[in-house]
Structure 1
């Protein structure tokens, strides 16, 4: 189902800037037992991204009520929230757009994630590189053509997810997840100053690691650093964390970090 500006409908104006220019942002949240884990973080992400994109979104309280209402009504699933700049004229100027649009939808949790958690996954190196743009780095905006191409290429392989580099060849993320790798007691995750999405589960895992015996480091690294790791895992708020068995010719036998993080991440979803 879709809720657009508080009404059940599935039609959007043809001149909405999300259609014309990908002008907007979104967040994807897990619904669990009628609750919305990381609710404040999801709401903050939308607010901060709207500010960064200069979208004049002011209906935060109304959006929060709609999110909580859908969580209670559907109990379990995936809640996607989109904010577009709204409808405007033909050109790029956003000056005539003062009424952003809220779009909420609910769908089932991806059925393959539990299998991934139990069995682990394989990564393939994506031939599609992410463009570097500090003004948009970290943001979950609606311009996702890079991810569409990454997924299209991934589907031509036997791998489950893609390791994605930026245009300078730095390891950045996966198609729909953030990335961590471990070498001894040090855990690395890519810097996201120029490309990639700053995921909510990524931030949560970094906070968990900061209180553990592990040292977490944000780093600019080449793919060889991932190949040489003791362990690799990926995460997002739906998974929430999944071990990697293989990337290219590298195989990872250890699940030490995964076994530490998995119960803590699951608890954060279900509590």
Structure 2
């Protein structure tokens, strides 16, 4: 782990990441020393910092630190956290001029390969996501909802959670986004009120558009999702997995999944 370019594991207790969850993060796949979709991850961090009104990030140094952390890795996970920095008085950031950059590398998750073959089982989470358009879409450090979702998921036999918002609309999974196909039409949830607009979600939506197709962004209730012919989930590491079951409803079609997976192989080849 590197904090502001120095290899260390100690963060000041006064840092606003620990005090208030004041910051944002991204998680990227590394293959053969290269960070996949690096520009998109940097753009996501910039967007997160802008939305959180968080200045003082040395973007040139951050990119260099990310590349240096990845260069010797054959297959790994790169995580980048940007905190507003240390200090301030209470909630105020006054007097803080430098953000904290945290870069870490962890082993590649091995279970995704098996899930690509057998498919993912989703179980509807009892934990809803609050609607907050001000924070929706970005990957900020306040992730207690996901911690609770994961805690319930760990008590089940499911692989991932189907997460709804407080109005009962489908949003995402605990750590993935959703797409589904009904006939020839492709859908993904509207994330303007809650959820994370993931890097892979954006990438796949761009691939769908480039192929001349439309991805319908909708506010859908679970009954609409369960009526689909096919459901897939995605994130920057998976990157696309088929869903074989949601609660008691089973799925077997993988037409959309195979097409989206082919798009991801093209991404890695670049």
TM range (shorter): over 0.9
The structural deviation recorded for 1:98 is: 1.6
Q: Which runs of 5+ in 1 are unaligned?
A: none
1:171-250, aligned counterparts within 5 Å? 171-212=170-211, 214-250=213-249
Q: In structure 2, the residue corresponding to 1:45 is in which secondary structure?
A: helix
- In the alignment, structure 2 segments of 5+ residues that lack a partner are none
Query: In 1, are the aligned partners of 2:123 and 2:160 still within 8 Å (CA)?
Result: yes
Q: Is the 8 A contact 1:81 1:103 kept in 2?
A: yes
Return the TM-score normalized by structure 2. 0.97
- How large is the RMSD of aligned CA atoms in angstroms? 1.1
Give, in whole Å, the separation in 2 of the partners of 1:195 and 1:189.
13
Match of 1:43, SS? helix
Secondary structure, aligned partner of 1:44: helix
Contact kept? 1:241, 1:261, Cα under 8 Å? yes
Secondary structure at the counterpart of residue 146 of structure 2:
helix
SS in 2 for 1:87: coil
Q: Which residue of 2 aligns with 1:100?
A: 99
Q: Give the total of aligned pairs.
A: 270
Match of 1:76 in 2: 75
* 1:110 equivalenced with 2:109 (yes/no): yes
Change (3 A) 1:214 1:183: farther
- Is contact 1:185–1:214 with CA below 8 Å preserved after alignment? no
Moved more, 62-71 or 234-243: 62-71
Tell which deviates more after alignment, 214-223 or 239-248.
214-223
Give distance in 2, aligned partners of 1:145 and 1:57: 26
Name the SS of the counterpart of 2:211 in structure 1: coil
Q: Which moved more, 1:179-188 or 1:259-268?
A: 259-268
